[in-house]
Amino acid sequence: MSKIGDLPILILDGVTVEENGGSLIVKGPKGQLQILVNPSVKLEINEHQILAKRKNSEKISGALQGLVRSLIANMITGVVQGWSKNLELIGVGFRAQTDGGKLNLVVGFSHPVEISAPEGIRFEVTDNTKIKVSGIDKYLVGQIAANIRAIRPPDVYKGKGIRYEGEYVRKKAGKAGKVGPGAVK
């Protein structure tokens, strides 16, 4: 039994939801998103809520019911409030700047790294070391933030690199940690 899938999705003010064949279109003040709904899930759309129902009692249908319900709830939140991920650059000389929809990173390579923002994504840079990735599609915001972090992941020895805001990086001791009783000199 899907516990998440049985919960109703509230349609917020200013949001319109349309079902078109096998897809669902959500329009709001910040934009429009569309999703293809799996055929094993049936949507019941009322004026103020959406219910995701499964068509049969198979186990995969319950999982898909919860998935579709979560995706639609994220779409509604996205077109009203939007989504964002914050990244920070840790390291001497590491900096970021925006240039008309592009993000330029200087992160210790011999060349600057340039990232173009896909449609619906915005970059904001504060203090030259803090990056905010924002947009209405939760998946796309998270994927772009992960791609930026993958350019220079945090180093486990010194801790420098690109990390999510508030992310804790556990540091390793390194070679100096091996000195002690039993060590070969």
Residue 16 lies in a domain: yes
Angle at 30 between CA 65 and CA 135, to 5 degrees: 75
CATH assignment of the domain containing 49: 3.90.930.12
Mark which of 47, 80, 113 sits at the end of a domain.
80
Q: Is residue 143 helix, strand or coil?
A: helix
One domain for residues 152 and 99: yes
Do residues 134 and 82 make contact, with C-beta atoms less than 8 angstroms apart?
Answer: yes
CA 29 – CA 37 distance, rounded (Å): 23
Residuewise pLDDT in 10s, the chain (185 residues) = 558 888 999 998 899 999 988 899 999 999 999 999 999 999 999 989 999 999 888 889 889 999 999 999 999 999 999 999 999 999 999 999 999 889 999 999 999 999 999 999 999 999 999 999 999 999 999 999 999 999 999 999 998 999 999 999 999 888 865 556 655 55
Q: Is residue 105 helix, strand or coil?
A: strand
Do residues 67 and 119 make contact, with C-beta atoms less than 8 angstroms apart?
Answer: no
Count of residues in the chain: 185
One domain for residues 76 and 92: no
- Angle between the N-to-C axes of helices 59-80 and 138-151, in degrees from 0 to 180, rounded to the nearest 10: 80
Number of domains in the chain: 2
Mark which of 25, 51, 80 sits at the end of a domain.
80
One domain for residues 130 and 156: yes
One domain for residues 90 and 65: no
Nearest Cα to 30, choosing from 142, 143, 135? 135
Do residues 72 and 52 make contact, with C-beta atoms less than 8 angstroms apart?
Answer: yes
CA 139 – CA 145 distance, rounded (Å): 10
CB atoms within 10 A of CB 148: 22
Domain containing 108: what range? 83-164
Residue 94's pLDDT is what? 95
